[in-house]
Amino acid sequence: MYRPRIIPVLLLKDDGLIKTIKFNKKKARYIGDPINAVKIFNDLEADELVFLDVLATKKNDVINLDLVKKIGDEAYMPFAVGGGINNLSQVDKILKFGAEKVVINTAGINNLGLIKEISLKYGSQSIIGSVDVKKNLFGKYVVFIESGKKKIKKSLLEVIKSIEISGAGEIMIQSIDNDGLMTGYDYPLIDFVSSHSNLPVIAAGGCGSLMDMKLANQKGGANALAAGSFFVYHGPRNAVLINYPTKEEIYKNFT
């Protein structure tokens, strides 16, 4: 049976895991140790993992490469990493340490040549072009970079088309407005990106249930479903508990 990939997205700050709401890092909640989370997701047989360092770009730094190596040594599943990546040398090390893909956001939008470089050397399947989006006062989608801090003049359509043309293998579309709320994805946003790109689309931002994932897949056209809070919280009071649906739960949801 075909089903979309289900991907936990784990945010890193100072090598610890955090969870944000609407990208607000000042009020981020500490979740735990990333290596411990990898071990749990190994046992739960997650499809893939994505690790994003939320401060790397701001600090003009790159995701901790020693941590990437530790994740690579521990993870049974494919994983991708992002955060401050802005040159091919960094990508060389990240992939050498076991990551299957790199997630390019700010640098990819500012410098499409970087995506081309990575694609030519490692193939398009090694690159996820990440796009963070927020609605303005008029309900128009606006693209932000630098972990949601800086809006750009290019339209959403221009950004997704340029990422595709430059050689990325996938697009991850993240709703800043929905981040951490667990009230559902921005389905019109996902549908827009899916309808205007030939690349596989990873939906992110707002997932609170398997039904949300089903809607993002069947109504929005997403090829993969990513989430953060959904995989680290449990129960009405959002107790921290790393979790992942069973194969039976996934099968029932998508059939």
Q: DSSP letter string over the chain?
A: ----EEEEEEEEETTEEEE-STT-GGGPEEEE-HHHHHHHHHHHT-S-EEEEESSTTTTT----HHHHHHHHHH-SS-EEEESS--SHHHHHHHHHTT-SEEEE-HHHHH-HHHHHHHHHHH-GGGEEEEEEEEE-TTS-EEEEETTTTEE-SS-HHHHHHHHHHHT-SEEEEEETTTTTT-S---HHHHHHHHHH-SS-EEEES---SHHHHHHHHHTT--SEEEESHHHHEETTTTEE------HHHHHHHH-
Q: What is the mean pLDDT of residues 126-145?
A: 97
> What average pLDDT does range 141-151 have in this prediction?
95
Residue 57 — pLDDT band, cuts 50, 70, 90? confident
How does residue 26 score in pLDDT terms, banded at 50, 70 and 90? confident
Per-residue pLDDT tens for 33-56?
Answer: 999 999 999 999 999 999 999 999
Q: Would you say residue 74 has pLDDT above 80?
A: yes
- Please name each of the domains of the chain with its CATH number: 5-254 (3.20.20.70)
pTM over 0.95: yes
Identify the pLDDT of residue 16.
Answer: 96
Q: How does pLDDT run across 219-238, given as a tens digit for each residue?
A: 999 999 999 999 999 988 89
Q: Which of 15, 66, 73, 132 is catalytic?
A: 132
73 counts as catalytic? no
The mean predicted confidence, pLDDT, of the chain is 96
